[in-house]
């Protein structure tokens, strides 16, 4: 990193050890861990912190099912368990709340075969959802832990209570990460400016305000915009490395106990938060005309939530939200060093799992930047995604 940094300074350009593109959850964790490790860091965000998918409403931290255990599920499990401590330390440092609670998840079981499958998953969880000092149950129950949460008609064959799942307030976490960065003298956060192009040979980034920044290493964590920054770097691919998938969500104002578990049913999440709001989400739209507009698809989702949870029947809508979530072609996060540019790493493609994994991915990417091995599942690596896209 020092070599590129020194070249930039010699040319009269300000230089940093690490340049991070993107002020979402991926970029903020990366910048924070790098700064704590003593690197000089500049984070540039084209709009404002949390302007993209990370500034949404849902905040559900949902584990993969415990069956057919593999490296991807194990990595996510470790990340979800460790996030609790990371957030507690962040809250203690900043005095801000990230709205975190390991509240669990309820999954209604509508048919007998759903219950049979869930009982098998309960056995799987006893084997794999555990650490040396802690275990997390995947319980199959006959009745909901709270009346009407969810509606009895939705759970003809009982329900699952997953004790590993959690939730957080996305905007609260971003605010806490931003506050932690603001306390560090070796960090500069610039909003309203983004990367226009990279010259990896020179170790410089041209910004869209006409200035340039020299870097020892650059991490592209700009959500959907990362795919556009990546394309000029190559290699030529038969298909795009990733796309934006539209999601719509809403906040309902309801007097719901914030300690209640998240409800998950047929793609619908109902997430009680600490501020008297319940998040409803979200759609997954590959085709759309307005990436940031809400429409009848969200209306239908809200009605589905009211039917699933009677406590929400008359709850007014407090906020409607829509945005684009980055989905890499390999369907997993795309992280780690670019195979053709040793001073560029990626942190993108988290789609629906970014908040649960970002801290763990950031640690691994930083470890690789400092000369270590990238300890992520093989399907997460940049070469794996390039292979999926098809090199030309």
Render pLDDT for 163-216 as a digit per residue (tens, 0 to 9): 999 999 999 999 999 999 999 999 999 999 999 999 999 999 999 999 999 999
What is the model's pLDDT at position 1? 42
Q: Which two tokens stand for residue 162?
A: 């997953």
Give the alpha-carbon dihedral of 371, 375, 379, 381, to 10 degrees.
Answer: -20
User: Taking all residues of the chain, what is their mean pLDDT, rounded to a whole number?
Assistant: 95
List, in order, residues 6 or more apart from 166 with CB less than 8 Å away. 61, 80, 83, 84, 100, 101, 102, 103, 104
Q: Where are the domains of the chain?
A: 2-55+172-242+330-389, 100-165+243-326
Q: What is the mean pLDDT of residues 275-280?
A: 97
Give the integer Cα–Cα distance in Å for 149 and 252: 15
Evaluate if residue 59 carries a pLDDT over 90: yes
pLDDT digits (tens, 9 = 90+) for 330-386: 889 999 999 999 999 999 999 999 999 999 999 999 999 999 999 999 999 999 999
Nearest alpha-carbon partner for 355 in 59, 20, 21 = 59
pLDDT at 209: 96
Pairing of β 105-108 and β 262-265: parallel
CB 27 within 8 A of CB 174: no
Region 144-167: what's the mean pLDDT? 97
Give the pairing type, strands 242-253 and 262-265: unpaired
CATH number corresponding to 100-165+243-326? 3.30.9.10
Span 4-44, pLDDT tens digits: 333 344 345 669 999 999 999 999 999 999 999 999 999 99
Residue 141 has pLDDT above 90, yes or no: yes
pLDDT score of 392: 78
Task: Give the integer Cα–Cα distance in Å for 123 and 325.
Answer: 34
pLDDT digits (tens, 9 = 90+) for 76-133: 999 999 999 999 999 999 999 999 999 999 999 999 999 999 999 999 999 999 999 9
Name the packing angle between helices 25-36 and 354-369 (round to 10°): 40
2-55+172-242+330-389: CATH architecture = 3-Layer(bba) Sandwich (3.50)
Q: Which pLDDT does position 391 carry in this prediction?
A: 79
What is the model's pLDDT at position 6?
Answer: 38
What is the structure's pLDDT at 5? 36
- Cα–Cα distance, 19 to 343 (Å, whole number): 10
- Peptide bond before residue 235 is cis, with ω within 30 degrees of 0: yes
């Amino acid at each position: 990193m020092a070599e590129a940094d020194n070249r930039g300074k010699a040319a009269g350009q300000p230089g940093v050890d690490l340049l991070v593109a993107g002020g979402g959850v991926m970029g903020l964790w990366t910048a924070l861990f790098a700064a704590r490790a003593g690197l000089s860091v500049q984070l540039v965000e084209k709009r404002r912190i949390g302007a993209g998918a990370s500034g949404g409403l849902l905040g559900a931290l949902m584990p993969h099912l415990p069956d057919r255990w593999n490296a991807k599920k194990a990595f996510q499990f470790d990340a979800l368990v460790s996030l609790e401590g990371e957030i507690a330390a962040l809250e203690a440092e900043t005095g801000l709340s990230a709205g975190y609670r390991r509240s669990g998840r309820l999954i209604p079981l509508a048919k007998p075969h759903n219950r049979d499958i869930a009982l098998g998953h309960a056995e799987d969880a006893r084997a794999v959802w555990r650490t040396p000092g802690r275990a997390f149950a995947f319980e199959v129950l006959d009745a909901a832990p709270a009346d009407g949460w969810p509606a009895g008609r939705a759970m003809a064959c009982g329900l699952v209570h997953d004790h590993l799942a959690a939730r957080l307030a996305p905007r609260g976490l971003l605010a806490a990460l931003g506050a932690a960065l603001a306390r560090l003298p070796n960090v500069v956060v610039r909003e309203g400016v983004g990367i226009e192009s990279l010259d990896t040979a020179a170790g410089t980034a041209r910004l869209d305000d006409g200035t340039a920044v020299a870097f020892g290493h650059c991490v592209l964590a700009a959500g959907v915009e990362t795919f556009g920054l990546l394309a000029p770097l190559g290699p030529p691919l038969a298909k795009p490395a990733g796309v934006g998938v539209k999601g719509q969500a809403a906040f309902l104002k309801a007097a719901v106990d914030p300690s209640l578990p998240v409800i998950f049913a047929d793609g619908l999440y109902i997430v009680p938060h600490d501020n008297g709001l319940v998040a409803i989400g979200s759609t997954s739209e590959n085709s759309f005309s307005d990436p940031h507009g809400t429409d009848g698809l969200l209306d239908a989702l809200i009605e589905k939530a009211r039917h699933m949870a009677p406590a929400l029947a008359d709850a007014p809508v407090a906020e409607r939200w829509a945005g684009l979530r980055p989905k890499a072609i390999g369907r997993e996060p795309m992280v780690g060093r670019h195979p053709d540019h040793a001073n560029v790493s990626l942190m993108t493609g988290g789609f629906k799992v970014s908040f649960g994994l970002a801290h763990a991915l950031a640690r691994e990417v930083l470890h690789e930047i400092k000369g270590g091995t990238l300890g992520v599942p093989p399907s997460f690596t940049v070469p794996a995604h390039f292979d999926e896209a098809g090199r030309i």
